[in-house]
Amino acid sequence: MGFSRSALALIASITLLAGCFGYNSSAKRWAYVGDAVLIAGGGAAIASDVTSRDAPCTWDNCPYRSSIHGAMVAGVLLVAGGLFGVLFNATRDDVKTTR
């Protein structure tokens, strides 16, 4: 049993609504949480795609089946977005704001 597409879309939407790029130390902490959710969701999508493969065809005239599926692509994009967010937050200076 793997993740459904709607569950993956929900994880991505919630993470993107939370924001992945912080401008001060408090916002950066929450951005790291969002980035971690992106990475974990992407890893779960990749794992569900790898573990739910169909058995290979052993008969003659088997139809072509690509080894790359939508869940794999979505997982890779989520992990890449999370890693980019972590690197961006780690190298970004804090913005000094006054009230």
What pLDDT, on the 0 to 100 scale, is given for residue 43?
92
Residue 28 has pLDDT above 90, yes or no: no
- Is 24 domain-assigned? yes
Q: What is the pLDDT of residues 52-65, one digit of tens each?
A: 877 878 888 888 87
Residue 40 has pLDDT above 90, yes or no: yes
What is the number of helices (H) and of strands (E) in the chain? 3, 0
What pLDDT, on the 0 to 100 scale, is given for residue 20?
57
CB 81 within 8 A of CB 20: yes
Indicate the pLDDT class of residue 14, thresholds 50, 70 and 90: low
- Is 19 domain-assigned? yes
- Is 62 domain-assigned? no
Determine if the pTM surpasses 0.85: no
Q: Which domain holds residue 10?
A: 5-52+67-91
Instruction: Look at the chain and report how many structural domains it folds into.
Output: 1
- What is residue 86's three-state secondary structure? helix
For the chain, percent of residues with pLDDT exceeding 70: 79
- Is 97 domain-assigned? no
Q: What is the pLDDT of residues 67-87, one digit of tens each?
A: 777 888 888 888 888 888 888
- Is 81 domain-assigned? yes
